[in-house]
Structure 1
């Protein structure tokens, strides 16, 4: 199909959309009971969707006031791709799901050029000794108001918190908390307690933005980083308690020694 419009067939596949888009569209239904659901108010610049198997779902939220979304989406067996409101991309973002996994993208996400979001590796890898799979497909969650920088790759099993920036050419293999800059391959947190905004440095006035007063804040996402590892684990609490008891015991021993020495 090369037109995005309402559709259904005798295999249970359907498109739920209240408008018509006839440019840069390619939708393939190879299986059964697949659903493509697109908000009527949208700004899709390009959409390629391959429903390779059965029981797949793609949902795309409404879009207004941001550049258009360009996406190439592969949907595996029982998989879901959910894209929130006002999600934009500079060029085509590639998304892939397989084996019952999902990709969830929040609202107001800004995706740069040459981005890959992959819940799976495309082909299986096995342990030679046991025959077990070593690269299971895993779901991905990208929060609200996230910026994926040029050439970034987000891999399976990852959650990216609200307000976070992923640096250029980064490979995200582990989860990132909210309001951080994650960079590198594999990506790690290089800066905490940050916030970003959409206005371009050269295309949107003022053309110098030295402080936050230069832009309109997305206040919901100006928050301090909450690091999931910041709370002490039970083992850390036990260790800390043992250290406190040890220090207390040493003080008692020293006090007893001083008392005995004073009697001599």
Structure 2
């Protein structure tokens, strides 16, 4: 495994709450030294995989990456806890800059097990990339499924299930998540009582 932008000393001494598990070859981590080490476990389950985490990021949870897959988390990312990212064979998860995730978020690029058509034997549930734009807020207990795209400036409400496209600057809620309001923007500042 190759650590780029950091060295073994920093992982063992500065990032004491980050655990990196790898059994295979040619995996890479790009980690800015301004990463806030809360509690992160990274599992590499294959080869030729990579993880990049940008500047001023605060993430806690589990990131699992398998063969030929990549996870990119942009600058100024924050989470309150329990983010799980599963990037499976040949698929990528991309999260833009200035995103805010609440607790118990699950992002996955696959269904984990194969489903076939009984008559043709054709695989029905291919793995797909997940893309989350810049300045996206994902609230508590959200599940983001393979093939999902959440565009810049959007908010996904608590306990939603995202399985497709959420347009930019939209508020989406429900299972499956549907856009209920367009042309919104959000701020990290707490709202006050009227």
Calculate the TM-score normalised by the size of structure 1.
0.69
C-alpha RMSD of the superposition:
1.4
More helix by share: 1
Structure 2: distance between partners of 1:36 and 1:58: 5
Where does residue 135 of structure 1 map in the other structure?
125
Contact 1:46–1:92 at 8 Å: present in 2 too?
no
| Alpha-carbon distance between aligned partners in 2 of 1:21 and 1:143, rounded to the nearest angstrom | 29
Equivalent residues of 1:111, 1:149 under 8 A apart: yes
The 5 Å alignment of 1:133-172 reads 133-172=123-162
Tell me how far 1:44 sits from its aligned partner.
Answer: 2.7
Q: Please point out which of 43, 51, 63 is paired with 2:44.
A: 51
Task: Report the Cα offset of residue 129 of structure 1.
Answer: 1.7
Aligned to 1:118: 108
Q: Tell me which residue corresponds to 1:254.
A: none
The residue matched to 2:165 in structure 1 has which SS?
A: coil
CA distance in 2, matches of 1:124, 1:36: 29
Take 2:113 and 2:44, find their aligned partners in 1: how far apart are those partners? 17
Unaligned runs of 5+ in 1: 1-12, 202-206, 211-264
Counterpart residue number, 1:63: 56
**Aligned to 2:180, what secondary structure does the other structure show?**
strand
Q: Match for residue 83 of structure 2?
A: 93
CA contact (8 A) 1:120 1:136 kept: yes
- Structure 1 residue corresponding to 2:23, chosen from 11, 14, 30: 30
C-alpha contact 1:118 1:156 (8 A) present in aligned 2: yes
Residue 103 of structure 2 aligns to a residue whose secondary structure is coil
Q: Distance in 1 between matches of 2:167 and 2:100?
A: 17
**Partner residue, 1:74:** 64
Q: What is the aligned length? A: 189
Instruction: State TM-score, norm by structure 2.
Output: 0.92
Q: Mean alpha-carbon deviation: is it higher for 84-93 or for 126-135?
A: 126-135
Q: Unpaired runs of 5+ in structure 2?
A: none
Between the aligned partners of 1:101 and 1:78, the Cα distance in structure 2 is 7
- Say if 2:2 is the partner of 1:14: yes
Tell me the residue number matched to 1:220.
Answer: none
Post-superposition offset of 1:37: 1.1
Q: CA–CA distance in 2 between the matches of 1:45 and 1:130? A: 48
Give 1:25 shift: 2.0
* Secondary structure, counterpart of 2:166 in structure 1: coil
The CA distance in 2 between the partners of 1:154 and 1:22, in whole Å, is: 28
